Structure 1
Amino acid sequence: MRVLVVEDETRLANVVRRGLELEGFVVVTAATGEDGLWRATEEAFDVIVCDIMLPGINGYEIVRALRAKQIWTPILMLTAKDGEYDQADAFDLGADDYLVKPFSFVVLVARLRALVRRGAPARPVLLTAGDLSLDPARRRVMRGNEEVDLTPREFGVLEFLLRNPDTALTKGEILRNVWDAHYVGDENIVEVYVGYLRRKIDAPFGAHTIDTVRGVGYRLTTAPPNSPNSPEG
């Protein structure tokens, strides 16, 4: 799951980023209102954490602008302002939740998962391909009636593939959406994790879910293995 954290306090932003990454989130940070609004408009996120008091445009204006553009990504306002009218203003503008600093990190994670579970319009709660299913909110993967245990990174790769079924995705696209927008390591790390996934979600079940697209990257296929529409692996 991708989360945008718009927070100008560098120390707090880094703490939140590191903590969320340990929980399996892919985190992008922005330190100004303008940068936060631009990223929220140009990139896809599952949830946004946004401070109210920001350099440039404030959090209220970010919410107002996003909703005016009909961008319905769930937004949690994170702020030191705890007045009733401050909260009411945030909700009236289109925010989905509100958390006051200092806050419990456990509560922050729980609320973010609840927002993702509730989802934006048209976002499927359960991602499926045949008898393979992934629940983003509960972080649960099932193959038929059997649960499959994945690491946070494996889960992220599979989720991204399931959100883009029957689509050839480059290693770069997978890296930007599952690792980090600024990742500078070897792209072949994607190949390593696809191998891990195949050994966990396919091999034990005699299944074939992830195709290698030569010269491009990988594709998660939703067609049955013997279907005429099933691509060659």
Structure 2
Amino acid sequence: MAKVLLIEDDVDTAQEISAELRDRGYVVDWVDDGVEGLRQARKGGADILIVDRMLPGMEGLAIIDALRGVQIRTPVLVLSALGAVNDRVRGLGAGGDDYLTKPFAIPELIARIEALLRRPADTAASVLRILPLELDLLERTATRGGREIELLPREFRLLEYMMRRCEQLLTRAMLFEEVWKYKFVPDSNLVDVHMGRLRRKVDAPGETPMIYSVRGEGFVLRAPA
């Protein structure tokens, strides 16, 4: 099973997570200090990192930023009691792959870990695949089951962002921040318009939908069952 590096200073939380993951066959290493957590993460070997935001020694987002700065792309699930939209956007903007607000249910934590481990690797790989959907980052082409999908540049960036975060709920604020590079959420239906066009291209009539709207929340890309 996958190896997890847990960087969490709350003993009760860390013990609960570690026990549940080990019961499920995961190998878990736990550290309770940010500086030591960064050192362990830099050594490599972990398949996924679970990082608390508020840590002694070094703040969690600083750990993630340091790892991304040296091209370590191990998936990171951020844990935090800070659950406002701006906090989640900041966590993902620092290089986190998912963000879970405390308190949380253990089944949701497990589901998010499993979703991260199923994702295409965020590396220099030139093709992202979530069958039957493929995105060629070098040729700038997209196909679904062999069917060519013609995408405008913004649609391509939007689909790439979603494929790298398959099964994750993406809010409009996150999309404005990461795809449009806005530092604020404009009073606009811009995301909805682009998402509607992208969905019509990716999900042709008769095909199992892959792009879903979550009412009042955002959007999610899911692999067909």
Name the TM-score class by shorter chain: 0.5 to 0.7
Q: Deviations over 1:143-182 (max 9, x none)?
A: xxxxxxxxxxxxxxxxxxxxxxxxxxxxxxxxxxxxxxxx
What are the equivalent positions in structure 2 for 1:53-202 lying under 5 Å apart? 53-121=54-122
- In angstroms, what is the RMSD of aligned CA positions? 1.8
Aligned to 2:219: none
Provide the C-alpha distance between the structure 2 equivalents of 1:119 and 1:35, rounded to a whole number of angstroms.
28
Task: Kindly name which structure, 1 or 2, has the bigger radius of gyration based on alpha carbons.
Answer: 1
Aligned to 2:139: none
Provide the C-alpha distance between the structure 2 equivalents of 1:71 and 1:80, rounded to a whole number of angstroms.
25
Aligned to 1:25: 26
TM superposition shift of 1:43: 2.7
Letter in 1 for 2:104: F
Please, what TM-score do these two structures have when normalized by structure 2? Answer: 0.53
TM superposition shift of 1:53: 0.3
Aligned to 1:165: none
Q: What are structure 1's unaligned runs of at least 5 residues?
A: 126-233
The alignment partner of 1:4 has SS state of strand
Matched, 1:7 2:35: no
Q: Deviations over 1:94-143 (max 9, x none)?
A: 100000111010010011011001043469x9xxxxxxxxxxxxxxxxxx
| Preserved CA contact (<8 Å) 1:74 1:119 | no
| Preserved CA contact (<8 Å) 1:51 1:78 | yes
Provide the C-alpha distance between the structure 2 equivalents of 1:121 and 1:82, rounded to a whole number of angstroms.
25
| Preserved CA contact (<8 Å) 1:3 1:49 | yes
Please, what TM-score do these two structures have when normalized by structure 1? Answer: 0.51
Runs of 4+, deviation exceeding 6 Å: none
Provide the C-alpha distance between the structure 1 equivalents of 2:120 and 2:97, rounded to a whole number of angstroms.
10
Aligned to 1:229: none
Letter in 2 for 1:43: G
Q: How many residues align?
A: 125
Provide the C-alpha distance between the structure 2 equivalents of 1:108 and 1:75, rounded to a whole number of angstroms.
12
The alignment partner of 1:99 has SS state of strand
Aligned to 2:134: none
Provide the C-alpha distance between the structure 2 equivalents of 1:93 and 1:120, rounded to a whole number of angstroms.
18
Letter in 2 for 1:98: Y
Q: What are structure 2's unaligned runs of at least 5 residues?
A: 130-225
Letter in 1 for 2:65: R
The alignment partner of 2:90 has SS state of helix
* Identity between Structure 1 and Structure 2 (%): 39
